[in-house]
Amino acid sequence: MSDTLRLGIAGLGTVGVGVLRIIRQQAALLEARTGRKISVSAVSARTRDRDRGVSLKGYDWEDDPVTLATRDDVDVFVELMGGSDGPAKAATEAALKAGKHVVTANKAMLAIHGQALAELAEAQGLSLRYEAAVAGGIPVVKTLLEGLAGNGITRVMGVMNGSCNYILTRMESAGQTYQDIFAEADALGYLEADPQLDVGGIDAAHKLAILSSIAFGAQVDFHGIQLEGIERVTIEDIRAAADMGYKIKLLGVAQKTGRGLEQRMQPCLVPDSSPLGQLDGGTNMVVLEGDAVGQIVLRGAGAGEGPTASAVMADVCDIARGVWLPVFGQPATTLVQAKSAQSKTPAPYYLRMALVDKPGALAKIATVLGEAGVSINRMRQYEHDAASAPVLIVTHRTIPADLERAIAAMDGTGVMAGAPVALRIEEV
Amino acid sequence: MSDTLRLGIAGLGTVGVGVLRIIRQQAALLEARTGRKISVSAVSARTRDRDRGVSLKGYDWEDDPVTLATRDDVDVFVELMGGSDGPAKAATEAALKAGKHVVTANKAMLAIHGQALAELAEAQGLSLRYEAAVAGGIPVVKTLLEGLAGNGITRVMGVMNGSCNYILTRMESAGQTYQDIFAEADALGYLEADPQLDVGGIDAAHKLAILSSIAFGAQVDFHGIQLEGIERVTIEDIRAAADMGYKIKLLGVAQKTGRGLEQRMQPCLVPDSSPLGQLDGGTNMVVLEGDAVGQIVLRGAGAGEGPTASAVMADVCDIARGVWLPVFGQPATTLVQAKSAQSKTPAPYYLRMALVDKPGALAKIATVLGEAGVSINRMRQYEHDAASAPVLIVTHRTIPADLERAIAAMDGTGVMAGAPVALRIEEV
């Protein structure tokens, strides 16, 4: 265990630079904790001559990440390029085939190709670790894989895209529209080059798919996620939800049901006094529920140089210490292909609608809801000047199909001024 | 790795029963995750014939935990008896000397004898694991030991005694005195047989000493903790703190300073909007700060059958998976004996006092504070009928010695109606 552990790092963006910084500045600490020196043999990135604020002196340069990944003097290939396919996947596969451990921050690659990569790594007896792929600096992968290994996991929830949470909390505090705050976030550089990865919920869904696999012993199934972004969240709904005691969050939820594995990433209401409701700005939060442990909440920075590099280094330290685990917590060949269940789990719902201002309008809506089996928990009609009256309803637990039936029937009542908004209220 | 891992469990209280339940009910899951069967060879407890709600059939019985710990058919000794010395320590030492791994929930034993036990375990190449000793079900030991291994840890904070947090939050919600709520908690069975372990802060301080050791690479130093319990917290202070935007918590703080390792367990004020401030009832919260990761917050149940058993089983699973780590994260022989620094770190302070109702009283106090170098941030004098006027002061960051000097000088002003209350405000 006293040999030096030698890394090859592909990708020198924010995270790669952060990893180099830790390896240099904490050399003594890392050696004390792992019993080994940790060194960098070679690096690779798209452009060689760029001021990254950190010197690359002492590291060999490789133009081709595949060549880097398979060098004789590399024990661990650190993949920080990103992208589900292309060079990241090619170099990861090459590294594993060449007998190198892999540490990656690549959520897209794992969400799409996790099963095949895990099988490859395990067949080779190698580590494939990815703490940095989910929720940045929060050690949630380790917590699920190891810390809660004695639990049957019942539900995993999380706010795992800081940009979306920033937009939603900033809409509320500034009282501005989605379009305005989106533009502001984009100008501040908070969004991915393709912002749809953030606001469309795709990035967060990648993370949820990975956590689901660990939690439920299932093959990663990104395409089984019921996915909706935050583009349709309005300032009106944020205000109305607040008035009823809720916050709107882009919330990922995975739970095993009698019908299969339910995975959702969608705007949901959560109580404003809950830890999730109190999560402002770019911070991430993951809630893990186990049959023995109850509820564990983890909160921390979901992105950024230091936090993400911290997660990469946790994986590197584990490998240096000789820790080996199956990639998703149990051998990949034993992971089941879970049946994907679209949400049939009953939940309370938030309904916002505008009713034509004439006698009996509210009664008609209440009747339609009742006939569909949707029971009203709370209802508010607001004072208004316009021709239509704003109405908010919080339902009791409702089967989604019943709600859909009720909404379809509302259309025929003749008292709706526009389509209603329906959002799930997640019971946290 | 496919051999059965055989446990010997000493102590069949709540936690021991929880461990037996998990081992039975989750046998398939545990085998899938660790690649091994996990079995129980023998158990031991103070009384044999007691209805524990779980059958002991199939397990050998031992009257003597030392005999249990050294049985040939025990690979891991699970110590759930408690107590820093006595049978728990004897059996733990015997187990390690006999080549058995040890998993324990015993915070007192580790806080007092952690260094010697760690040296013994490491000399034998054995695991000594104790996730359940700190903050119940929250995997905070694993997070510090492994998840943040790439960080220089800068501060560890925590609310780690659920009974104290219950008493403090219940005093506020019920508007009742410490004495009343203490009696209520005692009647509900929320307190240890010796309640001083809870309300005196000793139990929480044991946990803090353990986390400090991991965080700062120092030998466990329970006696270096500046310790104060919650007995002197009054309903008046809880109300006054709330009025200034704070909650009072029994907060453990460990940080490395230029003068040594500062460890405090004392009632502190934290902002009511912070995660710590929002922590109500019996839940635990640990805040870990690292130079790379920033701030990580972990929240969960700090006690109880399921949560504590979950933590025990995480350690058992690690051992089953062949994971080995130094007990406190780096070899025990390399842990430094940190100089214990009583708090000299400046902090804002909360001061509550009653002033004699005569002209110039407030001016005298302000003068005394200013002369001692204590700067006032906020001050409130409340309307009053009595002969003395209630005054609250929040100071700017103050060196504790300056504050002590100011408080001593107040006594000579002739305007104080009784001694002032001073509480540290922890900046979270």
pLDDT one-digit tens code per residue, B12-28? 999 999 999 999 999 99
* pLDDT, tens digit (0-9, with 9 covering 90-100), for B170-226: 999 999 999 999 999 999 988 988 999 999 999 999 999 999 999 999 999 999 999
Query: CB-CB: which of B33, B275, B313 is closest to A330?
Result: B33
pLDDT band, residue B387 (cuts 50/70/90):
confident
Catalytic hit among A207, A249, A256, A364:
A207
Contact A299 B296 (CB under 8 A): yes
* pLDDT, tens digit (0-9, with 9 covering 90-100), for A36-81: 999 999 999 999 989 999 999 999 999 999 999 999 999 999 999 9
If you measure CA to CA, which chain B residue comes closest to A305?
B292
pLDDT band, residue B1 (cuts 50/70/90):
very low
Q: Is B89 annotated as a binding residue?
A: no
Phi-psi region of B395 (alpha: psi -120 to 50; beta: other; left: phi over 0): beta
If you measure CA to CA, which chain B residue comes closest to A313?
B150
B129 & B160 share domain: no
Contact A142 B138 (CB under 8 A): no
Q: Is residue A318 part of a domain?
A: no
Query: CB-CB: which of A22, A275, A292 is closest to B18?
Result: A292
User: In chain A, what residues touch B307 (CB-CB under 8 Å)?
Assistant: 292-294
A121 & A158 share domain: no
HSE at residue B233, side-chain half, CA atoms within 13 A, is: 36
Report whether pLDDT(A409) > 50: yes
Residue B210 near residue B111 (C-beta atoms within 8 A): yes
- What integer is the mean pLDDT of A332-349? 90
Min Cα distance B325 → chain A (Å) is: 7
Q: Are strands B128-129 and A128-129 parallel, antiparallel or unpaired?
A: unpaired
If you measure CA to CA, which chain B residue comes closest to A279?
B275
Catalytic hit among B89, B100, B207, B256:
B207
A145 & A124 share domain: no
Place of tokens 């089953």: B320
Query: CB-CB: which of B278, B307, B323 is closest to A323?
Result: B323
Min Cα distance A216 → chain B (Å) is: 10
- The DSSP output letter for B222 is G
* pLDDT, tens digit (0-9, with 9 covering 90-100), for B244-268: 999 999 999 999 988 899 999 999 9
Q: What percent of chain B has pLDDT over 70?
A: 100
pLDDT band, residue A385 (cuts 50/70/90):
confident
Residue B239 near residue B228 (C-beta atoms within 8 A): no
**CA dist., res. A385 & res. A389, Å (int):** 8
pLDDT band, residue A345 (cuts 50/70/90):
confident
Query: CB-CB: which of B294, B298, B334 is closest to A306?
Result: B294
If you measure CA to CA, which chain A residue comes closest to B317?
A149
Residue B222 structural domain: 140-301
* pLDDT, tens digit (0-9, with 9 covering 90-100), for A149-184: 999 999 999 999 999 999 999 999 999 999 999 999
**All residues at 6 or more sequence positions from A226 whose CB lies less than 8 Å from its CB, including other chains:** A262, A263, A264, A265, A266, A342, A343
Q: Are strands B226-227 and B260-271 parallel, antiparallel or unpaired?
A: parallel
HSE at residue A165, side-chain half, CA atoms within 13 A, is: 23
The length of chain B, given as a count of residues: 428
Contact B32 A321 (CB under 8 A): no
For A320, phi and psi rounded to 5 degrees?
Answer: -60, -35
Report whether pLDDT(A333) > 60: yes
Q: Is residue B330 part of a domain?
A: no
B206 & B250 share domain: yes
pLDDT band, residue A1 (cuts 50/70/90):
very low
Q: Is residue B325 part of a domain?
A: no
Contact B297 A298 (CB under 8 A): yes
A179 & A280 share domain: yes
Q: What is the mean pLDDT of chain B?
A: 95
User: In chain B, what residues touch A139 (CB-CB under 8 Å)?
Assistant: 142-143, 146-148, 296
Q: Is residue A216 part of a domain?
A: yes
A278 & A198 share domain: yes
What is the SS3 assignment for B118? helix
Q: Which of A151, A173, A280, A328 to mutate to test the interface with B (most CBs of B within 10 A)?
A: A151
For A45, phi and psi rounded to 5 degrees?
Answer: -160, 175
Q: Is residue A333 part of a domain?
A: no
- CATH number of the domain within which B155 lies: 3.30.360.10
User: In chain A, what residues touch B173 (CB-CB under 8 Å)?
Assistant: none
* pLDDT, tens digit (0-9, with 9 covering 90-100), for A80-132: 999 999 999 999 999 999 999 999 999 999 999 999 999 999 999 999 999 99
Q: Is residue A148 part of a domain?
A: yes
**CA dist., res. A401 & res. B225, Å (int):** 58
Residue that is last in its domain, among B282, B301, B320: B301
Residue B358 host element (H or E):
none
**E strands, B120-175, in order:** 128-129, 153-159
For A56, phi and psi rounded to 5 degrees?
Answer: -100, 10
Q: Is A89 annotated as a binding residue?
A: no
Min Cα distance B31 → chain A (Å) is: 9
Per-position b or e across B292-306, b if 16+ CB within 10 A of its CB: bbbbbbbbbbbbbbb
B294 & B173 share domain: yes
CA separation, residue A105 to residues A18, A43, A129, A298, A402 (Å): 13, 16, 9, 19, 41
Report whether pLDDT(A343) > 80: no
What is the SS3 assignment for B324? coil
What ipTM was assigned to the predicted interfaces of this complex? 0.95
B89 & B49 share domain: yes
Report whether pLDDT(B311) > 50: yes
B183 & B256 share domain: yes
If you measure CA to CA, which chain B residue comes closest to A324?
B323
Per-position b or e across A230-251, b if 16+ CB within 10 A of its CB: beebebebbebbeebebbbbbb
Q: What percent of chain B has pLDDT over 90?
A: 91
Residue that is last in its domain, among A301, A316, A338: A301
CA separation, residue B251 to residues A191, B133, B267 (Å): 37, 17, 6
Query: CB-CB: which of A150, A293, A317 is closest to B30?
Result: A150
Query: CB-CB: which of A148, A296, A314 is closest to B148?
Result: A314
**CA dist., res. A175 & res. A157, Å (int):** 27
Given this model, what pLDDT does residue A66 score?
A: 98
Given this model, what pLDDT does residue B118 score?
A: 98
User: In chain B, what residues touch A147 (CB-CB under 8 Å)?
Assistant: 131, 139, 142-143, 314
Q: And the tokens for A116?
A: 């095949």
Q: Which of A345, A334, A153 is nearest to A258 (CA)?
A: A345
Min Cα distance B200 → chain A (Å) is: 27
Q: Is residue B297 part of a domain?
A: yes
- CATH number of the domain within which B395 lies: 3.30.70.260
pLDDT band, residue B2 (cuts 50/70/90):
low
User: In chain A, what residues touch B309 (CB-CB under 8 Å)?
Assistant: 150, 292
Min Cα distance B152 → chain A (Å) is: 8
- CATH number of the domain within which B121 lies: 3.40.50.720
Neighbours of B223 (CB within 10 A): 12
B148 & B290 share domain: yes
Contact A324 B322 (CB under 8 A): yes
What is the SS3 assignment for B421? strand
Residue that is last in its domain, among A245, A266, A301: A301
Contact A149 B325 (CB under 8 A): no
**CA dist., res. A135 & res. A208, Å (int):** 10
Catalytic residue status for B339: no
**CA dist., res. B168 & res. B199, Å (int):** 10
Q: Which of B5, B298, B312, B313 to mutate to test the interface with A (most CBs of A within 10 A)?
A: B298
Min Cα distance B394 → chain A (Å) is: 26
Residue B137 near residue A296 (C-beta atoms within 8 A): yes
B79 & B24 share domain: yes
- What integer is the mean pLDDT of B315-333? 97
For B44-50, the CB contacts below 8 A with 24+ separation are: B44/B8, B44/B9, B44/B10, B44/B11, B44/B12, B44/B68, B45/B10, B45/B11, B45/B12, B45/B13, B45/B16
Q: What percent of chain A has pLDDT over 90?
A: 91
User: How many domains are there within chain B?
Assistant: 3
Task: List the beta bridge partners of residue A263.
Answer: A254
Q: Is residue A341 part of a domain?
A: no
User: In chain A, what residues touch B278 (CB-CB under 8 Å)?
Assistant: 273, 275, 278
B24 & B163 share domain: no
What is the SS3 assignment for B413? helix
Place of tokens 């719902």: A349
